[in-house]
């Protein structure tokens, strides 16, 4: 397995569905401009999943809200918060019951798309229903 620098203070997102690492970066709002030291390792072999992506971000401890948003693109992702080189908290991403300000409605005729309103969705089974147009979508369609 590829060795990546151990982080001192930050977040490790493990068990990301292979190919979804970049989407997770988008969800976390991290890009070239944010200046964080980031390691994204793609297509790592994993016993459980076949292949997975792993993301390490130095200097950022991500919130529960962001952790759950990761579940949209990768339901089995796990999030480890690291302080002083030690894992201090492990969180499992879970699909939130409702989304506010996370996700965009994919329906081009939806009023939220036309007025650039913040997304509002509620979970029904494994799908989200848009609070504006009432259509349902798969979690990954909202990102
Ligand atoms: Zn909608």
Query: What average pLDDT does range 71-86 have in this prediction?
Result: 93
Ramachandran class of 101: left when φ > 0, alpha when ψ lies in -120 to 50, beta otherwise? left
Domain ranges of the chain: 10-92, 98-142
- Model confidence at 2: pLDDT above 90: no
* pLDDT tens per residue across span 41-64: 999 998 877 999 999 999 999 998
pLDDT at 111: 94
Say whether domain 10-92 belongs to CATH 3.30.70.140: yes
| Ligand 1 centroid distance, CA of 103 (Å) | 10
| Ligand 1 centroid distance, CA of 113 (Å) | 7
| Ligand 1 centroid distance, CA of 53 (Å) | 30
Query: What average pLDDT does range 92-106 have in this prediction?
Result: 90
| Ligand 1 centroid distance, CA of 64 (Å) | 25
Label residue 131 by pLDDT band (50, 70, 90): very high
For ligand 1, a single-atom ion, which residues have Cβ within 5 Å? Answer: 105, 107, 110, 130, 132-133
Give the separation between CA 120 and CA 112, rounded to whole angstroms. Answer: 9
Protein fold of 98-142: SH3 type barrels. (2.30.30)
């Amino acid at each position: 397995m590829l060795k990546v620098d151990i982080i001192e203070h930050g977040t490790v997102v493990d068990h990301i569905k292979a190919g979804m690492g970049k989407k997770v970066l988008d969800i976390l709002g991290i890009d070239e401009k944010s200046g964080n030291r980031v390691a994204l390792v793609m297509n790592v072999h994993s016993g459980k999943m076949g292949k997975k992506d792993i993301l390490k971000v130095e200097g950022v401890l991500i919130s529960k809200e962001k952790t759950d948003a990761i579940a949209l693109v990768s339901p089995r992702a796990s999030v480890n918060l690291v302080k002083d080189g030690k894992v201090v908290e492990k969180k499992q991403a879970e699909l939130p019951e409702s989304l506010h300000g996370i996700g965009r409605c994919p329906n081009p005729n939806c009023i939220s798309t036309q007025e650039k309103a913040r997304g509002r969705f509620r979970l029904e089974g494994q799908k989200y229903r848009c609070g504006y147009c009432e259509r349902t979508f798969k979690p990954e369609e909202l990102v």
